[in-house]
């Protein structure tokens, strides 16, 4: 009978444990490899990973037949009724004299939002925020836009300015009014109220008015505009008169024709399917 050398029992158990662990590990690796080959599981590829450009190209190709949804702003016509709105008809009643800008802002807000702002309300508002000249009350375009940004309903109305070389023509103003856009227009106030003031060379606008309606002839041509002027009782200008006070005439040139446009807007949804 062949005799075998004996091994202590605890060493035998340890050897058996190691052998079993090795066997299980090898079996596990084999199963994983088999699954990778058969099922092509993500992360199990044995090939070289794609470059960033290859991945981007592949992703673009897979999205070509998808539907894309985006949002963009569209114009919403504003409406107003001068007869039922609170109108500031005169300026200089709130401690400062050059407050045409404040009156224009107040009247515009009252017309398009149904508010009841007075000259004093806007004078106090802009004075506290340093949005006007502290001595005269005069407001710059940026001052007026800042007030509109703060007081117009932010999710449905906004103000924009076109000035100097980008200033709208008289016909363009009429078209905007027809589309429900309220206008604040800079003019040569002294020329408008007093007449004359020709031959003065290059000057800048001195006064702001609200223009709220375009008057057209039967053939559609623009013949005049209905306005609100806090410095006079003038409520209507012919197209020629507005052009003179806006651009200048007879040797007086207004260098900075400016128009602030107050408009309504909303988001629209754009759906596009790429072929």
Q: Measuring CA to CA, which residue among 190, 167, 103, 188 is closest to residue 138?
A: 103
| Residue spans per domain, the chain | 10-46, 74-269
Instruction: State whether residue 274 is helix, strand or coil.
Output: coil
CATH code: domain 74-269 is 3.90.70.10
Q: Which of 85, 105, 83, 81 is nearest to 180 (CA)?
A: 81
Q: What does the block give as tokens for 270? A: 């754009």
How far apart are alpha carbons 113 and 181 in whole angstroms? 13
- Walk along the chain (275 residues) and give the pLDDT tens digit of each residue: 323 333 344 444 444 444 544 544 455 544 444 444 444 434 444 444 545 454 444 444 444 545 656 788 999 999 999 999 999 999 999 999 999 999 999 999 999 999 999 999 999 999 999 999 999 999 999 999 999 999 999 999 999 999 999 999 999 999 999 999 999 999 999 999 999 999 999 999 999 999 999 999 999 999 999 999 999 999 999 999 999 999 999 999 999 999 999 999 999 987 766 55
The pTM score is: 0.74
CA–CA separation, 267 and 187 (whole Å): 34
Task: Enter the DSSP assignment of 130.
Answer: T
Terminus-to-terminus CA distance in the chain, angstroms? 86
The helix (H) or strand (E) run that includes residue 239 is helix 239-247
Q: List, in order, residues 6 or more apart from 36 with CB less than 8 Å away.
A: 44, 45, 46
Tokens of 58: 């592949």
Q: The tokens 């009252």 sit on which residue?
A: 110
pLDDT digits 0-9 by tens, 97-139: 999 999 999 999 999 999 999 999 999 999 999 999 999 999 9
Cα separation, 238 vs 222, whole angstroms: 9
Radius of gyration of the chain (CA): 38
Assign residue 220 a region: left if phi > 0, alpha if psi is -120 to 50, beta otherwise? left
- Residue 194 burial by Cβ neighbours in a 10 Å radius (0-12, 13-18, 19+): exposed
């Amino acid at each position: 009978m062949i005799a075998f050398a004996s091994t202590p029992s605890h060493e035998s158990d340890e050897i058996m444990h190691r052998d079993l662990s090795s066997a299980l590990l090898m079996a596990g690796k084999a199963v994983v490899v088999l699954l990778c080959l058969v099922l092509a599981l993500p992360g199990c590829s044995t090939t070289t990973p794609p470059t960033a450009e290859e991945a981007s190209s592949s992703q673009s190709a897979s999205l070509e037949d998808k539907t894309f949804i985006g949002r963009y702003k569209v114009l919403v016509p504003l409406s107003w009724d001068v007869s039922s709105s609170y109108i500031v008809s005169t300026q200089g009643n709130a401690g400062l004299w050059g407050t045409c800008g404040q009156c224009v802002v107040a009247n515009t807000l009252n017309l398009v939002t149904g508010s009841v702002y007075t000259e004093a309300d806007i004078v106090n508002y802009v004075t506290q925020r340093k949005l006007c000249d502290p001595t005269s009350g005069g407001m710059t375009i940026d001052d007026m836009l800042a007030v509109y940004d703060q007081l117009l309903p932010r999710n449905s109305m906004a103000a924009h300015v076109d000035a100097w070389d980008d200033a709208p023509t008289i016909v363009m103003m009429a078209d905007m009014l027809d589309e429900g856009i309220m206008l604040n227009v800079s003019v040569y106030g002294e020329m408008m109220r007093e007449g004359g003031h020709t031959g003065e060379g290059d000057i800048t606008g001195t006064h702001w008015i609200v223009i709220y309606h375009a008057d057209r002839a039967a053939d559609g041509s623009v013949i005049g505009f209905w306005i609100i002027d806090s410095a006079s009782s003038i409520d209507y200008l012919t197209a020629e008169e507005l052009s003179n006070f806006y651009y200048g005439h007879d040797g007086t040139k207004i260098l900075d024709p400016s128009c602030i446009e107050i408009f309504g807007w909303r988001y629209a949804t754009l759906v596009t399917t790429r072929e």
